[in-house]
Amino acid sequence: MSEHEIDPDELTSPGTISDPELERRRAKEAAEREAESRASDASKFEETLEEQQEERRKAARAVGDVPPPRED
């Protein structure tokens, strides 16, 4: 075999290694990333909702600050 040829027996792919501890650790890390992602999405939603409510409050105050029409 030349130096540029690849021996398929030397390659590994996901699922080819039988290591229950490694699989458990990877599953735990994936679950933690998923939980963080969901928490981030929820907090981003709440942040956006609060921003929209503040904009509505400001708009309501601006409309409330308009004096009534003058009677000439």
Task: Provide the 3-class DSSP secondary structure of residue 10.
Answer: helix
Joined tokens for residue 31: 């679950």
Give me the amino acid identity at 46.
E
Instruction: From first to last of the 72 residues of the chain, give the pLDDT tens digit.
Output: 456 777 666 666 655 667 788 888 989 999 999 888 887 777 888 888 999 999 998 888 877 777 778 887
Handedness of CA 48, 54, 60, 65 (dihedral sign): negative
The reported pLDDT for the residue numbered 29 is: 93
In which element (H, E) is residue 20 found? helix 20-64
